[in-house]
């Protein structure tokens, strides 16, 4: 089991909005910043969101992040078929002294 | 342009050893923490180890894997020993956004290298 909990899959139609949740505890999400990664099959992960809500240069504003308490959320608006990928949340866990990831969420754009 | 290039993967027997390398370029290597993250076939991401202001290991590899770096060669290493079938994975080298590994922010990743532990 992963320390952070994500839904295994989400789906939505092109043009719609989807959210992916990431649930943790006070030792990780509750007291540390959350990052989100996008991974296409056979390729390396790519940083999408860091510090809960900030986007690296080049990431479109269709992607957003938020955090409340011990949970974080990734939002994607204006869904495109090219957004079909696996999405992972990650953060530091102060009790484990380790980086922890969620189990990943597969996004399907129907 | 930041580039990370892993090497040293391959097939190894259970109980064996292997050393991975990650050649970095395009940034001041000594100023940033570096991590190894692995992904077993069909599974999610698993952080393995980090080196920066402090060195950290996942419990699953503690005592078996050793992370190190040569700042003069811009290279990160992962010495793996006592390998088990469950260590089979693609291993990624990842650059942190700061010298402290305790952020969980990996802004650049290598392409990954496959390690297969099997007899």
Give pLDDT tens digits along chain A (110 positions): 899 999 999 999 999 999 999 999 999 999 999 999 999 999 999 999 999 999 999 999 999 999 999 999 999 999 999 999 999 999 999 999 999 999 999 999 98
Distance from CA of B16 to the nearest CA of A (A): 26
Residue B80 in contact with residue B20, Cβ under 8 Å? yes
Residue B113 in contact with residue B20, Cβ under 8 Å? yes
Report CB contact under 8 Å: A104, B44: yes
Rg of the Cα trace of chain A? 13
Q: Which of B56, B58, B112 sits opposite A44 (nearest CB)?
A: B112
- A25: burial class by Cβ within 10 Å (0-12, 13-18, 19+)? middle
Mean pLDDT to the nearest integer, B58-76? 97
Residue A14 in contact with residue A81, Cβ under 8 Å? yes
Report CB contact under 8 Å: B59, A96: yes
Residue A47, number of CB atoms within 10 A of its CB = 20
What burial letters (b/e) apply to B81-110, b meaning 16+ CB within 10 Å? eebeeebbbbbbbbbbbeeebbbbbbbbbb
Q: Which of A94, A99, A102 sits opposite B35 (nearest CB)?
A: A99
For the cut 90, the answer to whether the pLDDT of residue B107 exceeds it is: yes
Report CB contact under 8 Å: B105, A32: no
Residue B2 in contact with residue B109, Cβ under 8 Å? no
Task: Return the pLDDT at B100.
Answer: 86
């Amino acid at each position: 089991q992963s320390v952070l909990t994500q839904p295994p899959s989400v789906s939505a139609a092109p043009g719609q909005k989807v959210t992916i949740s990431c649930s943790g505890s006070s030792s990780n999400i509750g007291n540390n910043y959350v990052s989100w990664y996008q991974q296409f099959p056979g390729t390396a992960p790519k940083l999408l969101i860091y510090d809960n809500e900030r986007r690296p240069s080049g990431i479109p504003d269709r992607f957003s992040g938020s955090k409340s308490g011990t949970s974080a959320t990734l939002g994607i608006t204006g869904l495109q078929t090219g957004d079909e990928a696996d999405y992972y949340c990650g953060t530091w866990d102060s009790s484990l002294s380790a980086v922890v990831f969620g189990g990943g969420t597969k996004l399907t754009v129907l | 342009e930041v580039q990370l290039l892993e090497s040293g993967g391959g097939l190894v027997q259970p109980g064996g050893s292997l050393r991975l390398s990650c050649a970095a370029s395009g940034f001041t290597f000594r100023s940033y923490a570096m991590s190894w993250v692995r992904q077993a076939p069909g599974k999610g991401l698993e952080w393995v180890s980090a080196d920066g202001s402090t060195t950290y290991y996942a419990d699953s590899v503690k005592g078996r894997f050793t992370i190190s770096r040569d700042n003069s060669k811009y290279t990160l290493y992962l010495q793996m020993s006592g390998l088990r079938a469950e260590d089979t994975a693609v291993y990624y080298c990842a650059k942190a956004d700061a010298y402290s590994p305790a952020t969980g922010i990996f802004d650049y990743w290598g392409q990954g290298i496959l390690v297969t532990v099997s007899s």
